[in-house]
Amino acid sequence: MKSFKLLLLAGGLSLGTSLVSCQDKLEEVVPQTSLNQSLVLTDANAALTLYTGVYASMRSYHATLLNLGEMRSDLWADGLFNETEDGTTKQLWSHDISATNAPVGSWGSFYSLLYRVNTVIKLFPNAPLDEARRKSALAEMYGLRAYIYYTMLRTWGGVPLITEPVSTIGNLADLYTPRAAPADVMKLIKDDIEQSLTLFAGSNTFTTKRVYWSRAASLTLKGDVNIWSGTHLGGGSADFTTAKTALEEVKAISTLGLQATYADVFDPLKEANNREVIFALSFEKNEATQSAYTNFLVNTTQASTLVLDPVPGPAVAVSSAYPLVAGANRNGLSSAMIARLTSGPTDARIRNSFRLMYRNTTGNPVAGTLLTKFIGRVDAGIQLYDNDFPIYRYADVLLLLAEANTKLGNDPSVDINAIRQRAYGTTYTRYVNGSQNANLNAILEEYLREFIGEGKRWWALRRAGDAYVFAAINPRYLPAGQTYKLLLPISIGLLNNDPKLTQTPGY
């Protein structure tokens, strides 16, 4: 029995020690490949990962920005293409939009990005960064937040305003958020822009690659936003003047200007100190490459049966000119749009934006277009789609300024001509100041040609005014008077899941 007692003793001892060690054993297990809030608040480098995380996240919104800013315009409507249609973009350009068929669901997922922006805005005041870095990072975040809400305002009108990151989920009813009035969204946008400009404290510096928000970006956005609020929210000439002042300030920044050669703006090998770029989303080998234009390209089977430049010849098979490009030809330009863009004096922007693909049959009819502006380059035996995607560039500033001047009744021709000169060369046709309507149409023509694939044409039409939208869009798709269709509805699913949400007016 002695051994039995001993066993009990040993058992008791081991039990006692294990009581303590057990808890320790469980607490030892901590995440090994992630950071947390307390690290962010104690280490500057950890904090900066959240700042970079915002940009890395924003990069994935490329296709959304393209769809929202361009695909509802006349540019890609009724296009020629070789495969079956791209249903997503067709819905947009044919305005096949209704309450039961709402495109761009879940607010374009922008709230996920806003959460990340809001997290930086909340944590950085307490993070151990040096003061200058903290301020510039926060200045960028306020600028980005304004840009995101501006994109949402232009798309849906009033949207829920969220400026704090949610930390815990208590009662769900507290999380339901109604849509704010458009004027309140606009107020937040303008406040954020001012906050951003204050924090930038007059510094116009750029990083080598201009892939971060900057003071120039905040100023350009300020111009863009004020033309909008002047046109659509009753701001009138006060807002246009604010826009003009901001844009002139950007125009005067010495490190900015037009690239002499249009193609250089987008060249992935000329991204460093690209003087035309104000803010672009970065795409790089081994980081992330573009995929937003897959359906603007061509598949390998089609490519072997299509040719480039049959006139004057010799024709080159698409598959030999672009042997490694793969994708699908599901978006294109209509014959009328092709004629509009390719007839007349040679416009450097057109040849550097897309190529026409022709059938290999007699007469070589046009089969479709190949968007080459963002086609990247051949690298290591693959097609590397590493062009940056500009959000704002100097050409925007010139055309926005022309818009502001037009709306103020001033002569916009100097800025329009700056754009034209680069496009057509020294023999370009000078634009001469005309009526406000003529001026705006001239500006819109430059938007059409300058920004193919950059997500700008629809916004430009909208900013010009509703009449310009209805004039441009085929009334089969968007009959005049269907003003409510200029904003998008939200999905039944979204309405089902949030009792405080209401449908966009008119749907």
CB of 211 or CB of 395, closer to other proteins? 211
Instruction: Work out the end-to-end distance of the chain between its first and last CA atoms, rounded to an integer number of angstroms.
Output: 87
The residue (of 22 and 438) whose beta carbon lies closer to other proteins is: 22
Residue 436 contacts other proteins per CB under 8 A: no
Question: Residue 172 or 252: which CB sits closer to other proteins?
Answer: 172
H-helix or E-strand containing 17?
Answer: helix 2-27
CB-wise, 343 or 496, nearer to other proteins?
496
How many CB atoms within 10 Å of residue 337?
19
Closest approach of other proteins to the CB of residue 227, in Å: 28
Query: What is the closest distance, in whole angstroms, from the C-beta atom of residue 36 to other proteins in the complex?
Result: 5
Site residues (CB under 8 A) for other proteins, limited to 66-105 = 78-85, 87, 90, 94, 96, 98, 100-101
* Residue closer to other proteins (CB basis): 103 or 412: 103
| One residue of 5, 125, 380, 427 binding other proteins per CB under 8 A | 380
At its nearest, how many Å lie between other proteins and the CB of residue 174? Answer: 10
Site residues for other proteins, window 205-234 (CB under 8 A)? 207, 209, 211-212
Nearer to other proteins by Cβ, of 84 and 203: the residue is 84
Token pair belonging to 489: 């509805």
Sketch the per residue contact string, 249 through 288, with other proteins: x for CB under 8 A, - otherwise: ---------------------------------x-x-xxx
Give yes or no for residue 492 binding other proteins (CB under 8 A). yes
**189-193 contacts: CB < 8 A, separation 24 or more?**
189/146, 189/149, 189/150, 189/153, 189/225, 190/146, 190/222, 190/225, 190/229, 192/142, 192/143, 192/145, 192/146, 192/149, 193/142, 193/143, 193/146, 193/218, 193/221, 193/222, 193/225
CB of 381 to other proteins, least distance (A): 4
Instruction: Name the segment binding other proteins (CB under 8 A); options: 66-74, 107-115, 344-352, 396-404.
Output: 107-115
367 lies in the binding site for other proteins (CB under 8 A):
yes
The answer to whether 230 touches 237, Cβ cutoff 8 Å, is yes
Q: Which of residues 178-207 bind other proteins (CB under 8 A)?
A: 207
Cβ atoms of 373 and 452 closer than 8 Å: yes
Site string for other proteins, 19-38 (x = CB under 8 A): xxxxx-xxxxxxxxxxxxx-
Count CB-CB contacts under 10 A for residue 323.
Answer: 14
To other proteins, the closest distance from the beta carbon of 492 in angstroms equals 7
Size of the site for other proteins (CB under 8 A): 114
Largest CA distance in the chain: 113
Q: What are the residue ranges of helices labelled H in 157-303?
A: 172-175, 182-200, 215-232, 236-251, 300-303
Strand partners, 419: none
Q: CA of 475: how far to CAs of 93, 94, 219, 479, in Å?
A: 12, 10, 36, 4
Q: Is 56 in the site for other proteins (CB under 8 A)?
A: yes
Backbone angles phi, psi at 488, to 5 degrees: -95, 145
- Contact with other proteins (CB under 8 A) among 41, 53, 184, 204: 53
Q: Residue 497 has which token pair?
A: 């899941």
